[in-house]
Structure 1
Amino acid sequence: MTRIDIPGSVTVLGECVADVFTDPAGPGPDELALRALPGGGPANTAVTLAGLGTPTRFHARLSHDIFGDLFRNRLLQAGVDLSRSVSAPEPSVLAVAALDETGQATYTFYAEGAADWQWTTDELAPALDDDTVCLHTGSLALIREPGGSAIEDLLARARMQATVSLDPNVRPQFVPPALYRERMARWCELTDILRLSEDDLAHLLPGATPEEACDTWHAAGAPLVVITRGPHGALASLDGSRVTVPAPPVDVVDTVGAGDSFTAGLLHRLAALGQLGGRLDKLSLEDLTDACTYAARIAALTCSVAGATPPRTGD
């Protein structure tokens, strides 16, 4: 990736998660060997953004436990600004992943009482700086209380200065999809960019086609809806005008973090095109196609390596 000068910075708000994988080369049938990798949708997005050259701040509640140290090291090594993050006494979230033969992951979460959704209004107050052109959030931190409602209030304030990006990242193993459906109308009112996967779509609007879903969420207030479709690429709808981009061919190792990398690539490219910082009023279909094509390439590169390991500038 070639470095591009980005006007302003992107703030990412949300959780870190320890993605725990079973080790097939474990010691024996009566033992379980595990490998923990730092992950979590918002953290993956922040790491990818910074790796691509976007000035990135990550606003998170990071635990004091050993996994919190793992998260801090990963983020700092990627060049993410953690100066506004909160040091939290609660434990980190663990997500034990099972991979199928195609590399698709399903998760079991160990997350009750975790640090990531204990936000207070005072802790969220420093999230935005004057140079912030985009605030991206979503996933578990946005749906879990008490922090979810406080984050929604922050998004309403952020719209006065920045583009708002949201990825619901539905986790039915941990949060009933009905709770996401109850909040979607409000989230669409607050966001400018709604990025979600086909799996998210199936949970949020069962039976709806991607085009029908885009129209539903446009009507609720989201001007740009992007639905990623794995090997089938992505559909982007800008107030009803649609473009599709293919997924580059890739030898898939696993799909962990692919959607998060797509989001980062999309935001990075939109920032480079000067489209962030407002309501996307000047975004053309040509620039949208360019940004989604770039994002699909970043997602494909992430699928070519184990874990949520994104490309960096110069890779």
Structure 2
Amino acid sequence: MPRSLSRPTVAVLGECVADAFTLTSPRPRTDTPPTGLDLRVLPGGGPANTAVSLARLGTPTRFFARLSHDLFGDLFRARLTHSGVDLSACMPAREPSTLAVAAIDDMGQATYSFFADGAADWQWTEAELSAAPLDGISCLHTGSLALAREPGGPRLEEHLARARPHMTISLDPNVRPLLVEPAAYRKRLNRWCELADILRLSEDDLTHLLPSTTPEEACDTLHIAGAPLVVITLGSRGALASLGGIRAYIPARPTHVVDTVGAGDSFTAGLLHHLNTLGRLGGRLDELTIDETIDACAYAAEVAARTCAVPGANPPWAHQLLPTGPH
């Protein structure tokens, strides 16, 4: 099938998170306690990272989010706008932005503290979601905390059900056990599979969602629950794609890993970008082939590798990728 000459819009619905990292430097050993804490704050959040990556790859991208007007909200807007994301559908929020703080110990291990209760990202109302413009959208992608946390999560599920007859639905559970008990994800997993045409999850997600289950067994379980395309990212071992039970392993692209922040989000973006360019998004994926799926995952692996090669969630622009990707 020839590729579509035009690229319909992909919409992303979900949260932004301010990721604050402690800055470490040698300090004289004295009995005087520290009087302050130096932090570096970077814009993040799984859905926001996916939207940024999609736009940088060249897919018209519309972001649905509740953005605060605090300092972090301004930071989010600047990053998204610079990357080319359409923010016209974002809702102004009175609540504060979500903050995650990582404390790094002497061994380089991170302990996270989240400041998320009452934050803007989880307070979606029916009126706000009903006002979200869905014209010209081929695919609606969501997941992560916005779909899992109360009170907004169940409302997002209802919104996906209303949108599903008109577009492809993509979902990434992105389990965050420090904020939401894994049992809450497991309770809603079957419903998410009923709604999703594309389910992208990590091997770490599987340990919480389907404990003691191999990736192959997980694909079967998720297909039975309703998801036609399941892609499980396996870190340095690549990814497993299963289209209606037809499976393929896609190797990871060799890269020098600086960190893996945002790698899964950029993989999802690469997958959706390639499928959108092929003209396969917009419905139930009935014409998608396993060969096209493999090609899309290989392109996604390249996008993820480029993200791992730089600090933080800083996905590549289209011109920085190998010419094997869709144009």
- The TM tier, using the shorter chain, reads over 0.9
Q: Which has the larger radius of gyration?
A: 2
> What is the CA–CA distance in structure 2 between the aligned matches of 1:265 and 1:105, rounded to whole Å?
28
Offset from partner CA, 1:278-307 (integer Å, 9 cap, x none):
001001011000000000010010001111
Match among 24, 34, 37 for residue 32 of structure 1 = 37
1:63 is matched with 68
> What is the CA–CA distance in structure 1 between the aligned matches of 2:274 and 2:173, rounded to whole Å?
21
Tell whether the 8 Å contact from 1:18 to 1:36 is kept in structure 2 after alignment.
yes
Name the count of aligned residue pairs: 312
Match among 56, 78, 81 for residue 76 of structure 1 = 81
TM-score, normalising length from structure 1? 0.95
Query: What SS class does the counterpart of residue 188 from structure 1 fall into?
Result: helix
1:151-162 matches, within 5 Å, as: 151-162=156-167
Say whether 1:203 aligns with 2:226. no
Offset from partner CA, 1:72-100 (integer Å, 9 cap, x none):
00001111000010010101111123579
- Structure 1 alignment gaps of length 5 or more: none
The Cα of 1:131 is off from its aligned counterpart by 0.8
Offset from partner CA, 1:42-82 (integer Å, 9 cap, x none):
00000000000000000000011100000000001111000
2:23 is matched with 23
Tell whether the 8 Å contact from 2:139 to 2:169 is kept in structure 1 after alignment.
yes
Say whether 1:300 aligns with 2:300. no
Match among 141, 152, 157 for residue 136 of structure 1 = 141
Offset from partner CA, 1:194-251 (integer Å, 9 cap, x none):
0000000000010000011111010000001100011010001111000111111111
Task: State the superposition RMSD in angstroms.
Answer: 1.9
Tell whether the 8 Å contact from 1:11 to 1:127 is kept in structure 2 after alignment.
no
Say whether 1:215 aligns with 2:220. yes
The Cα of 1:25 is off from its aligned counterpart by 3.0
- Structure 2 alignment gaps of length 5 or more: 321-327
Q: Which range moves more in the overlay, 46-55 or 22-31?
A: 22-31
Counterparts in 2 of 1:103 and 1:60: CA distance versus 1, 3 Å? farther
Tell whether the 8 Å contact from 1:155 to 1:164 is kept in structure 2 after alignment.
yes
1:1-315 matches, within 5 Å, as: 6-25=6-25, 30=34, 31-97=36-102, 107-315=112-320
TM-score, normalising length from structure 2? 0.91
Tell whether the 8 Å contact from 2:89 to 2:133 is kept in structure 1 after alignment.
no
Percent identity between the two aligned chains: 67
Counterparts in 2 of 1:152 and 1:216: CA distance versus 1, 3 Å? same
> What is the CA–CA distance in structure 2 between the aligned matches of 1:121 and 1:288, rounded to whole Å?
35
> What is the CA–CA distance in structure 2 between the aligned matches of 1:5 and 1:108, rounded to whole Å?
46
